[in-house]
Amino acid sequence: MLCLLLTLGVALVCGVPAMDIPQTKQDLELPKLAGTWHSMAMATNNISLMATLKAPLRVHITSLLPTPEDNLEIVLHRWENNSCVEKKVLGEKTENPKKFKINYTVANEATLLDTDYDNFLFLCLQDTTTPIQSMMCQYLESWWRTMRSCRDSSGLSGPCPGTYGTCWT
Ligand SMILES: *[C@@H]1O[C@H](CO)[C@@H](O)[C@H](O)[C@H]1NC(C)=O
Ligand SMILES: *[C@@H]1O[C@H](CO)[C@@H](O)[C@H](O)[C@H]1NC(C)=O
Ligand SMILES: *[C@@H]1O[C@H](CO)[C@@H](O)[C@H](O)[C@H]1NC(C)=O
């Protein structure tokens, strides 16, 4: 699989479709994903989705809001008309608890690949209508993880320098 990696210092595994996704409901506790996340790295199998600032899936996920009905609201930032704007994308639940139907530019499906709830989450947005099932995947870190990942000169833990909460440039 062709794989492009834009990275902020984190390696991302390619060949994402081969990853095993448990299919039972108990395996995903959606409410535990609620909150602020930071996009740390992204990859795609179709460069045209991410190549330019205006590319449809050049997006920065900032939080996840599971609904009581097991749907998933995805909040993201992207460039539009030279400014960084916030968008909310509703993911409708499907029979597969890790897949959500979305309607956002070219993407029609969001997939939660893997998470430990506290620290990391792999999430993909896909266009299942194209010949190669175009997808963009992100490695996200939780706000908590980000807050304790760096120490300043006095030894206090705090957020690492970065561009959290803004658009990918
Ligand atoms: C961006 O500009 C286009 C065309 O000028 C306009 O239709 C659209 O509403 C604008 N979007 C935002 C978020 O301002
Ligand atoms: C997706 O959104 C577009 C524009 O808002 C709308 O025209 C289209 O019918 C929607 N498609 C689905 C499957 O909801
Ligand atoms: C790559 O994505 C673009 C934009 O959605 C799409 O038009 C094109 O068909 C995709 N390429 C392939 C090989 O699927």
- Structural domain boundaries of the chain? 30-154
Pocket test residue of 76, 78, 80 for ligand 1, highest count of atoms within 8 A of CB? 80
Q: In whole angstroms, how large is the CA radius of gyration of the chain?
A: 16
Q: 21: how many CB neighbours lie within 10 A of its CB?
A: 15
Q: How far apart are CA 165 and CA 149, in angstroms?
A: 16
Q: Which atom of ligand 3 is nearest to the CA of 130?
A: 14
Looking at residue 87, its pLDDT comes to 94
Strands (DSSP E) found in the chain: 4-7, 35-44, 60-66, 72-80, 83-93, 99-104, 107-115, 120-126, 135-142, 150-151, 157-158
How many Å lie between the centroid of ligand 2 and the Cα of residue 37? 27
Tokens standing for residue 97: 């608890």
Class of domain 30-154: mainly beta
Per-residue pLDDT of 58-108, as tens digits, reads 999 999 999 999 999 999 999 998 889 999 999 999 999 999 999 999 999
Nearest CA to ligand 1 atom 2: 81
Instruction: Give the predicted TM-score (pTM) of the model.
Output: 0.79
